[in-house]
Amino acid sequence: MEWLVFAPLAAVALATAVSVIVLRNPMYCALSLVGTFFALSGLFLLLQAQFIAVVQVIIYAGAIMVLFLFVIMLLDVGHEPPAWLRRDRPKLVLGMVLIGLLLLELAVAIGSRVSQGIQGPYTSEVVNAIGNTQLIGRLLFTDFLIPFEITSIILLVAIVGAMVLAKR
């Protein structure tokens, strides 16, 4: 039964991801990216990560895509020059070779069955008994407190940096 949900979502994610890098008009690319985000959100739900799925829609499909659309409209670059490929052909070929190697490496790594690790304590029964969101909140403020605080500093630096860059 899980395949009936997984296969369409994976197909939508792949199709919209390809159209992000193929379409000419940046506006259509941004809308395709929203499709990818929603498909991935569905996959997160399938993986029983409800909080992450909702945050994915709110932050990525909401906040980040609004920023993208805002900049696309602000810069008025809806009509990209006809040649959308990079001009430097030798480097383009070199890049394609490197992508092929990357794909090969990922295939070998996934196929080699070393991806079995030590099982943690949070099986789906435990998570469902406590609640996904509550568990994430508890861990965020106990085990992951220092990374959490560092994240707030990163966001502060980003705010200040964006203001400085945009003011110039």
Binding to other proteins, residues 12-51 (CB under 8 A): 13-14, 17-18, 20-21, 26, 29-30, 33, 36-37, 40, 43-44, 46-49, 51
Q: Which amino acid is at 111?
A: G
Amino acid at 70: F
In the range 49-68, which residues lie near other proteins by CB under 8 A?
49, 51-52, 55-56, 59-60, 63-64, 67-68
Q: How near is the Cβ of 92 to other proteins at its closest, in Å? A: 7
Q: What is the distance between the alpha carbons of residues 108 and 90, in angstroms, rounded to a whole number?
A: 27
Nearest distance from C-beta of residue 152 to other proteins, angstroms: 9
State the helix-helix crossing angle for 65-75 and 26-46, rounded to 10 degrees.
180
**One symbol per residue from 146 to 165: x for binding other proteins (CB under 8 A), - otherwise; what is it?**
-x---x--xx-xxx-xx--x
DSSP string, 16-60: HHHHHHH-SSHHHHHHHHHHHHHHHHHHHHHTT-HHHHHHIIIII
Which one among 54, 80, 131, 145 touches other proteins, defined by CB under 8 A? 80
Which is it for the CA torsion 9, 15, 18, 20, positive or negative? negative
**The only residue of 128, 131, 139, 145 in contact with other proteins, by rule CB under 8 A:** 139
